C-alpha cells in the first residue's frame, strides 16, 4: 500500500524559501509512469495545485507560482521535494504531497511569519 | 487554464437519501476527472478516478459518471460518516485544477 509523508519546517520567515520533502513508501517513484505532485490548502479554503513531476523528472508548475517553485525527484531516496521561494503570508497553508491520481500524504501546515 | 465549477456549494441531506454533486469543466477533458472526499482535519481521499472508475476500499454507494465537460458524483443511501467536503479535480491538462468544493451536511 502506497504511503506518502511530508516533512519540513512548520514555520518560515517572509522572503525566505519554503522547503518540503515527500517520502514515498510502498512503491517506487522512479519506475512507474505516474505523476507526483504538491497541492496546498490555505486554512478554511479550497485546494490549489502547485505542480507535478513525472517519474522521468519532467516538471509542470502552476503559472501563478511558476517563478517561485521548483519540484524535483530523488529516486535514490524515493522522495520528491518542493521549494517555494520569496514566501509571504499568503503562502501559509497545509501542503500535501500526492500521487496524481491516488494517495495523498497527511499534509503539513506551513506558516509564514516573522 | 480549465475551470471546474461544482454545484451546489452546500447541501444538507437526511440519512438514507441520495445526493448528486455536479462538476462542470470550462473545456472538454475527456474522462480525466476525479473526485475526492475531505473530512475535517484530514487529507483528501480519492473516491472515484477517471470519471467513473471505482477505488478499492471505497463503499459502492459512491459512483461517478460523465465525460467531456459535465460530471456527476452520486452518493446513494447517505450515512452520517459521509459528512465532508467533496472536490473534483481534472488531470487532463496542466495546470491541473480543482473545483471549489461542495460541503455536504447530514441532517
Spatial neighbors of B62 by CB under 8 A, at least 6 apart, are: B35, B47, B48, B54, B73, B74, B75
Q: What is the mean pLDDT of chain A?
A: 96
pLDDT computed for residue A32 by the predictor: 74
Bridge partners (DSSP) of residue A53 are A36, A59
Question: How big is the A-B interface in CB pairs under 8 Å?
Answer: 48
In percent, the amount of chain B with pLDDT more than 90 equals: 100
Is residue B105 within 8 Å of residue B91, measured between CB atoms?
Answer: no
Residues B78, B82, B84, B87, CA torsion sign: negative
Q: DSSP secondary-structure letter at B55? A: -
User: Taking residues B66-77, what's their average pLDDT?
Assistant: 98
Chain B hits for A46, CB-CB cut-off 8 Å, are 87, 98-101
Whether residues A60 and B44 touch (CB distance < 8 A) is answered with no
pLDDT computed for residue A63 by the predictor: 96
Chain segment A76-90, per-residue pLDDT in tens = 999 999 999 999 999
Q: DSSP secondary-structure letter at B96? A: P
Q: Which three cell numbers stand for residue B78?
A: 447517505
Classify B54 as helix, strand or coil. strand
CB-nearest partner of A47 from B42, B49, B98: B98
pLDDT computed for residue A31 by the predictor: 76
* A80: nearest Cα among A91, A90, A88, A69: A69
The count of residues in chain A is 114
Angle at B32 between CA B72 and CA A36, to 5 degrees: 125
Chosen for mutation from B9, B44, B86 (greatest number of chain A CBs closer than 10 Å) is: B44
Whether residues A49 and B44 touch (CB distance < 8 A) is answered with no
Spatial separation of the C-alpha atoms in residues A86 and A13, rounded to whole Å: 9
pLDDT computed for residue A30 by the predictor: 85
**What chain A residue is nearest to B44 in terms of C-alpha separation?**
A104
**What chain A residue is nearest to B55 in terms of C-alpha separation?**
A102
Whether residues A104 and B44 touch (CB distance < 8 A) is answered with yes
Bridge partners (DSSP) of residue A49 are A39
Q: Which of A28-32, A82-86, B40-44, B58-62 has the lowest mean pLDDT?
A: A28-32
Å between B73 CA and nearest CA of chain A: 17
**Which helix (H) or strand (E) is B21 found in, with range?**
strand B19-25
Chosen for mutation from B44, B90, B96, B103 (greatest number of chain A CBs closer than 10 Å) is: B96
The gap between the terminal CA atoms of chain A, to the nearest Å, is 39
Amino acid at each position: 500500500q502506497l504511503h506518502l509523508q511530508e516533512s519540513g519546517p512548520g514555520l518560515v520567515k517572509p522572503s525566505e524559501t519554503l522547503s518540503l520533502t515527500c517520502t514515498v513508501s510502498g512503491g517506487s517513484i522512479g519506475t512507474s509512469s505516474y505523476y507526483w505532485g504538491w497541492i496546498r490548502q490555505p486554512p478554511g479554503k479550497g485546494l490549489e495545485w502547485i505542480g507535478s513531476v513525472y517519474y522521468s523528472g519532467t516538471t509542470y508548475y502552476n503559472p501563478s507560482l511558476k517563478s517561485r517553485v521548483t519540484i524535483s525527484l530523488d529516486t535514490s531516496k524515493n522522495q520528491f521535494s518542493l521549494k517555494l521561494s520569496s514566501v509571504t503570508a499568503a503562502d501559509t497553508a497545509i501542503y500535501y504531497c500526492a500521487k496524481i491520481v491516488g494517495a495523498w500524504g497527511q499534509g503539513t501546515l506551513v506558516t509564514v511569519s516573522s | 487554464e480549465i475551470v471546474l465549477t461544482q454545484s451546489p456549494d452546500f447541501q444538507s441531506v437526511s440519512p438514507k437519501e441520495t445526493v448528486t454533486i455536479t462538476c462542470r469543466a470550462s473545456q472538454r477533458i475527456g474522462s480525466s476527472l476525479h473526485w475526492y472526499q475531505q473530512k475535517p482535519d484530514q487529507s483528501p481521499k480519492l473516491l472515484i478516478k477517471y470519471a467513473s472508475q471505482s477505488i478499492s476500499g471505497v463503499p459502492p454507494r459512491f459512483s461517478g459518471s460523465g465525460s467531456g465537460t459535465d460530471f456527476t458524483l452520486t452518493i446513494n443511501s447517505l450515512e452520517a460518516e459521509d459528512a465532508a467536503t467533496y472536490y473534483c479535480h481534472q488531470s487532463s491538462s496542466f495546470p491541473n485544477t480543482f473545483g471549489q468544493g461542495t460541503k455536504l451536511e447530514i441532517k
